[in-house]
Structure 1
Amino acid sequence: MNKEEDLETLGEQLYSLIYPNQKENAGKLTGMLLELPGPVVRQMLHDEAMLAAAVEKALRAVQLPQEPSKATCKDEDDASISSDSLGDQLFGLVDVYNTGHSQKITGMLLEQHKDAVLNLLSNPRLLEEQVNLALKTLKDENVEETDISDSSDADDTEKLGEKLFSLVKEMDPLRANDITGMLLEMDPAVLQQLLCDQSMLEVAVQKAQAALDS
């Protein structure tokens, strides 16, 4: 099966799961979620809680751009005053792409003129281009780091494990070791997703706790 057929199959499966609860936005949400790494999408197909969290995040992103336009109809000052609100809205959209660098990329995009940022909020294609460009810039800046980590998968897993352990320890100090070990059996792309999505991590930790309790 080639990559396009694989993506089409994943899209059909995702759409059939999303449609019952999100009839109006099913197509748009499916398209957004298909931007995620393949292993993450496959994991979502078998994990209702993970899918629900991703759909909720994508839905927020779909709805957010409509809010500034309503505000500008009533009072243009509303949109110009709240650069914090602009940042929150932009972060919500950038976070959907699950790059692992949502905060950095949002910061980079917010350095543009406010009109350009507002344009990003209402133009998903332009936003995607800018996110990819910012991600490329970040990767280029970290060339040496990447080279070092790529030299050894074991080092990579160890770093992931350390980050996970520190987060899991806050939720379950007594069983942090066991839970981290269980989570490290997941696909690395899914683990990266857990590290940058607190709600998804909580779901995964709860499942591991339930497995340990049983």
Structure 2
Amino acid sequence: MEEDEDLETLGEQLYHRIYPKHAEIAGKLTGMLLELPPAVLSQMLQDEALLTGALTKALTALHLQPHQLTSKVTCKDEDEDSLGEQLFELVDVYNTGNSQKITGMLLEQDKDVVLNLFSDPTLLEEQVMVALKTLNEQNVEDISDSSDVDEVTDRLGEKLFSLVEELDPVHANDITGMLLEMDRDVLLQMVSDQTNAMLMTAVQKAQEALSSLK
């Protein structure tokens, strides 16, 4: 019940931010963004650039009508490329940091299944989250399987940097360095968390620490 109330509050805040520039479709855009994890929505309300980017992608997705896509899809390679580009735009709205890989995973399905993703936002979100979980589990397994401590640290650093860069590209190097001082098991859990909630909390604390040093 509390989660529903939190989501309703986030929806109201997003709507008030969106309405001034997109009055006629503010409700539709808000509904699309509410498909994202609450942690991401909270970050958007604090980061104007992140919100603007998500709105741009949502507006693009909004104009991709299923019947238009169906008419374009034939056996030609160029049409396959077009479908992939359009699916990428929808996947990228979720700001996972793995849009390219997830799009590739989704495109491996039957064409009819892929087309259904354009007309069913709930199905799209489910498949994006499943693909993201699979990718994160693979990354964690690859890192954990290594017996070389230095190699583990390097891989964790690379993975963390790619995730942190999505949230704070300006301070990504400094923040990644700070996070790598944490316990390795905590870091493995952090990079495997598909909601990015743990990472966002850690990044915010690191940002506060950096600000206090100025």
Distance 2:40 2:174 in 1: 19
- 1:69 matched to which residue of 2? 67
Using the TM superposition, give the Cα deviation of residue 93 of structure 1 relative to its aligned residue in structure 2, in angstroms.
0.8
- Structure 1 stretches (4+) deviating beyond 6 angstroms? 164-167, 182-185
Q: Distance in 2 between matches of 1:140 and 1:164?
A: 15
| Partner SS, residue 25 of structure 1 | helix
Instruction: Give the match for residue 96 of structure 2.
Output: 99
Relative to structure 1, the CA distance from residue 136 to residue 71 in structure 2 (aligned partners, 3 Å threshold; closer, same or farther) is closer
CA contact (8 A) 1:161 1:184 kept: no
Q: Does 1:131 align with 2:128?
A: yes
Deviation at 1:189, TM superposition (A): 3.1
- Cα distance in 1 for partners of 2:161, 2:96 equals 20
Partner residue of 1:84? 81
- 2:118–2:124 CA contact under 8 A, matched in 1: yes
SS in 2 for 1:100: coil
Change (3 A) 1:146 1:128: farther
Q: Which ranges of structure 2 fall in alignment gaps of 5 or more residues?
A: 146-152, 179-197, 204-210
Give the equivalent residue in structure 2 for 1:55. 55
> What percentage of aligned pairs have identical amino acids?
55
Q: Which residue of 2 aligns with 1:31?
A: 31
- For residues 30-63 of structure 1, the C-alpha deviation after alignment (integer angstroms, 9 at most, x for no partner) is 1232333434322322333332121111111221
Q: 2:174 aligns to what?
A: 181
Q: What is the alpha-carbon distance in structure 2 between the residues aligned to residue 100 and residue 165 of structure 1? A: 9
TM-score where L is the length of structure 1: 0.63
Partners of 1:40 and 1:190 within 8 A in 2: no
Gaps of 5+ in 1: 149-154, 193-210
What's the counterpart of residue 196 of structure 1?
none
Q: Is the 8 A contact 1:184 1:191 kept in 2?
A: no
TM-score in terms of structure 2 length: 0.63
Paired with 2:42 and 2:101, the residues of 1 have a C-alpha distance of 27
Q: Which residue of 2 aligns with 1:195?
A: none
